[in-house]
Chain A
Amino acid sequence: GNSVTQMEGPVTLSEEAFLTINCTYTATGYPSLFWYVQYPGEGLQLLLKATKADDKGSNKGFEATYRKETTSFHLEKGSVQVSDSAVYFCALSDQGGATNKLIFGTGTLLAVQP
């Protein structure tokens, strides 16, 4: 079945460091890909998305490119801030139509130190 694999955390960085969180997927067909963020004590927020190969999703300085050849959707940010500390989830939409569901990776905890 379809699945998402994320790099294990926690990832600890200093403020203004470069961030990469790796995400690879296994899927039949052409799923949409997502990054969600969960700040401490809060729910999930959609961070960015991409719907087809070579699409780049971006938001709040974060970017991810849908790479079909490597089945990857790595999350990057050029300069992280303390306020970016959160758990980041990579996800794919399982299939189109009424039975669509999101399949999540295990989440990666990012801790940014001042």
Chain B
Amino acid sequence: DTAVSQTPKYLVTQMGNDKSIKCEQNLGHDTMYWYKQDSKKFLKIMFSYNNKELIINETVPNRFSPKSPDKAHLNLHINSLELGDSAVYFCASRTMTGGADTQYFGPGTRLTVL
């Protein structure tokens, strides 16, 4: 059973295109996140949704638009792709059970903008 899944795993596209990345979790968690990992492996949060509501937006350009159709899904749509958007994007979901606030990550989507 895959806990947090993302599609596609790899995405290669041209500058200026619009693309989407999908994320689904079957853990029953209420909160989901998008993180960006740059070429130096640095990880930074982009967005967080709780029960389909946006609660964190870390000064991400408005070309990036997350959408949460239900609490098990958090998709990321990117308009007018730029070279600097090339990165690995990780989805995560969060639980508060067991006394620890813990996030579980998907396998990542490697986006390459040419």
| Cα–Cα distance between A87 and B40 once the two chains are bound (Å) | 11
For the complex, is B12 an interface residue (Cβ under 8 Å from A)?
Answer: no
Which residues does chain B contribute within 8 Å of A98, judged by CB atoms?
31, 50, 55
Q: Which of B14-22, B61-69, B72-80, B104-112 contacts A (4 or more CB under 8 A)?
A: B104-112
For the complex, is B26 an interface residue (Cβ under 8 Å from A)?
Answer: no
Contact check, B43 vs A96: say whether CB atoms are below 8 A apart.
no
Please report the total number of B residues contacting A with Cβ < 8 Å.
27
For the complex, is A114 an interface residue (Cβ under 8 Å from B)?
Answer: no
- B residues lining the A interface (CB < 8 Å): 31, 33, 35, 40-45, 48, 50, 55-56, 58, 90, 92, 94, 99-108
Sorted from nearest, which 6 A-B pairs have the closest CB atoms?
Answer: A43-B107, A44-B105, A104-B43, A107-B41, A43-B108, A101-B45
| Contacts A32-B102, A98-B55 supplied; 20 other A-B pairs, CB < 8 Å | A38-B41, A44-B90, A46-B105, A49-B102, A89-B43, A98-B31, A99-B55, A101-B33, A101-B48, A101-B58, A102-B43, A102-B45, A103-B45, A104-B43, A104-B44, A106-B41, A106-B42, A107-B41, A107-B42, A109-B41
- 20 A-B pairs (CB sep. < 8 Å): A34-B102, A42-B107, A43-B90, A43-B106, A44-B105, A51-B101, A87-B41, A96-B101, A98-B31, A99-B56, A100-B31, A100-B94, A101-B45, A101-B58, A102-B92, A106-B41, A106-B42, A107-B41, A107-B42, A109-B41
